Structure 1
Amino acid sequence: MLRVRPSLGLMVVGALGAQLAPGHSALEAQAPERHTVSGQAVAIYNLVGRVTVSGGSGSDVAVEVSRRGADGDQLQIQTGSIENHDRRWESLRVVYPADRIVAPDLGSRSRTRLKVRSDGTFGDAGRTRGEEITIAGSGRGMRASADLAITIPEGKRVGVYLAVGEVTVSNVNGDLEVDVARASVSASDVTGSLNVDTGSGEVDIRRVEGDLMVDTGSGGITIVGMRGDRFSAETGSGGVEGSTIAAQSVDAETGSGDIMLRDVTTPRASIETGSGNVTLGLTRATDVLTIETGSGDVEIRMPGDLSAQIDFETGSGEIETDFPVTVRRHSRDHVRGQIGDGAGRIQIETGSGDVRLLRN
């Protein structure tokens, strides 16, 4: 039913304890070792620990390594050139000479398995290559981890790879890729492109000036403040929440979870969820907007000067708008028509749920 309102003007086992516990006390740190890596593209690899990334001066990427655990002195710090993403990267790799690593701060029920190549690299397109190792919070194994403090000069391209733990990024001016298997990721005040890929873990991003891409297998995504050409947020299971986003294209997708984006400025947006509600607030009318949800309500708010061709369909639910619509097709579950001169295009489809297009 259309109602027009009066015009208002990798494999992860063990869900608990995946991140390092507060205090990080069970594995006492040794004195930090300082390393530098030269080159325009730099990749840093570590299996377990906390990683902090911040901006700095100079010409080289600096990495302070703090070994932890009874077997921390067995960790090997390797450097050199590697190939990744079809290009050469200079690298620093923390190599764990064991197939089972124990870090009690992860929690006794934590266990993560992944493939690690002989040079200490993992992730990316080669996730299925290498020998399988287990990272656990209890039991037998090499008792070691490493905390890294990475300082990045302006204009570098840096990839940070961590299997288990947490990554914190702040005040970086350059292009950054963060790839983790099971870890939380937070980032703030990044100027440059930011690409975050997690197998499992929460992602919190604030104030990015550049393209932003976030992909999680499981975990919520929160974005506050982004301006660039491209915004993309995708999670297999978990919600996406964002505000103050300005991009030439906005894409958000969840397998299961709500999507809530407010104060969005973009000419093109695509929103999709298998199961979950969609709430979208736009500061200006889009040229193209497509929304699809298998099960969930859809609510869109746009400025009063909206002009678009609309095509709304719901398997079970109501269709409502407070914009004046010239209706071209109208049935119980499908409305096609035009608002204003029809300059843009809005297509919304939900298997089960209400559709609302309202004025800001």
Structure 2
Amino acid sequence: MPSKRWITTMSFLVAAMWLVASCNTPSGDMPKARFERTIELEQALGSGSALAVSTTSGSIEVAGQETDRVHVVATVVARAATKEQARDLAEQVSLRLEQTADGLGIRIDKPDPARRRFISISYEVTVPRQTGIDCSSASGSVNLADLTGEVSARTASGSVEATGIAGTIHLHSSSGSITCDRVDSAEVHLESASGAVRLTNGSALRVCQLLAASGPVTARRIEADSLRMASSSSRVTLNDAQAEAINLHAGSGSVTAGQVSCERLQAESTSGDISVAFRPDAPGDVAANVKSSTGSVRVVVPRDFAGQVDLRASSGTVRMSKPVAVTSKPGRNYVRGTVGDGAGSLLVRSGSGAIRIR
């Protein structure tokens, strides 16, 4: 059953895309007269408070600093048939900081949308480092940096970047990439409907989920309790990761994992090869389940791996370099038995491809 957060996020994205469609002028009909003005706001903001920022068209940049105030620089761009009309349109936009239940929010007052009138508002914001952020853009990128607190960002059309975040992170894009670096947090949820998802240098993570409906998913140098990476129609790549449980899934693409250490691993590809290489010092009693419907499978087990092995290829050969005490007669495409005397397990299936274990 979808979570409330998922339902809320998808509702935002649908509504945001409708707003973009209804408010924006088609590029071929974009009025050429342009007027730009800057609005600045500043107010005290206590450490540990939250700030809400949203725009229907425009980028958002939020950076944490050693300060006790929030400073907002808003760039308003208005387009209309004439320069005078564009100026008048921009001058009708007003912004103010309003108190919310847990901090501050930016309130926008602007004219209703009309044909051949266009307004975009972009933000550059500095806040105390210990500030929670909730921001959304219907059409524009979001960039967050050096923050401690719960961070949430959504965009219907644009990329999302977050760097140097300590706290729970929820980043969503309907059409755009998501990039996250230097994260030390309780939970990380990155999701793109159409775009790449990338996480690097994640430490002390409890739950980490990286999801893409259409785009590659990549992670590197990760420490987590549980790590889930999935792409419906592209590749999944993981390198240098340690977790209790790792789950990797590619609907249409390869799965590659190198230098991983975990107690439980599940890797699956509907249409693509799978390559998994454990660290030599990974737990010898790891429980690994690896399946590819149409592709080959290669697994490098931990140095001290010991336990049950069950390998089967429907159309391909099976080879294992470690000595196996077989429990049933092996075949060209089937091996079942034990390696050493341990509690580990390795189950590998390939629908159409070879299996290689060493």
Structure 1 residues 43 and 323: CA distance shift in structure 2, 3 A: farther
* Aligned counterpart for 1:53 among listed residues 62, 66, 70: 62
Q: Is the 8 A contact 1:292 1:350 kept in 2?
A: no
Displacement after TM superposition at 1:184 (Å): 0.7
Alpha-carbon displacement from aligned partner over 1:145-190 (angstroms, at most 9, x marks no partner) = 1111122323322111111111122222332111111111122222
Asked if residue 263 in structure 1 is aligned to residue 240 in structure 2, the reply is: yes
1:311/1:205 CA distance change after superposition, 3 Å: farther
**Contact residue 161 and residue 180 of structure 1 kept, 8 A:** yes
Query: What SS does the corresponding residue of 1:266 show, helix, strand or coil?
Result: strand
Greater Rg by CA: 2
Report the equivalent of 1:21. none
1:300–1:99 distance in 2 versus 1, CA, 3 Å: same
SS of the residue corresponding to residue 31 of structure 1 reads strand
Distance 1:271 1:30, change over 3 A: same
Per-residue CA shift, 1:182-217, capped at 9, x if unaligned?
Answer: 111122222222221111101122221123221111
Residue 74 of structure 1 is aligned with which of 88, 92, 105? 92
What aligned pairs does 1:1-360 form with structure 2 within 5 A after superposition?
A: 10=13, 29-36=36-43, 38=45, 40-69=49-78, 70=86, 71-77=89-95, 79-80=97-98, 90-94=104-108, 97-99=111-113, 140-210=115-185, 211-227=187-203, 228-284=205-261, 286-302=262-278, 303=280, 304-312=303-311, 316-328=315-327, 336-349=336-349, 351-358=351-358
1:245, distance to aligned residue in structure 2 (A)? 1.1
Are residues 89 and 224 of structure 1, via their aligned partners in 2, closer, same or farther at CA, if it must alter by over 3 Å?
same
For 2:57, the aligned partner's letter is V
Distance in structure 1 (CA, Å) of the matches to 2:320 and 2:34: 58
Q: Deviations over 1:2-46 (max 9, x none)?
A: xxxxxxxx45699xxxxxxxxxx9966422412447462332111
Q: For the Cα contact (< 8 Å) 1:253–1:271, is it kept in 2?
A: yes
Q: Matched residues in 2 for 1:349 and 1:150: separation?
A: 51
Quote the Cα distance in structure 1 between the aligned partners of 2:226 and 2:248: 11
Residues 79 and 43 of structure 1, relative CA distance in 2, 3 Å threshold: same
CA offsets, 1:99-143, max 9 Å, x none? 56xxxxxxxxxxxxxxxxxxxxxxxxxxxxxxxxxxxxxxx3431
Q: Structure 1: where are the runs of 5+ without partners?
A: 1-9, 15-24, 101-139
Change (3 A) 1:240 1:64: same
TM-score scaled by length of structure 2: 0.71
Instruction: State the superposition RMSD in angstroms.
Output: 3.2
> Alignment identity in percent?
26
Alpha-carbon distance in structure 2 between the residues aligned to 1:197 and 1:36 = 29
Equivalenced residue count is 296
Distance in 1 between the 2:353 and 2:113 partners? Answer: 49
Helix, strand or coil at the partner of 2:174: strand
Amino acid at match of 2:172: D
Alignment TM-score, normalising by the size of structure 1: 0.71
Give the conservation status (yes or no) of the 8 Å contact 2:131–2:147: no
Distance 1:219 1:96, change over 3 A: farther
Aligned pair in 2 of structure 1 residues 332, 51: CA closer, same or farther (>3 Å)?
A: farther
Q: What SS does the aligned partner of 1:72 have?
A: helix
Q: Is the deviation greater in 59-68 or in 326-335?
A: 326-335
Structure 1 residue matching 2:91: 3-state secondary structure: helix
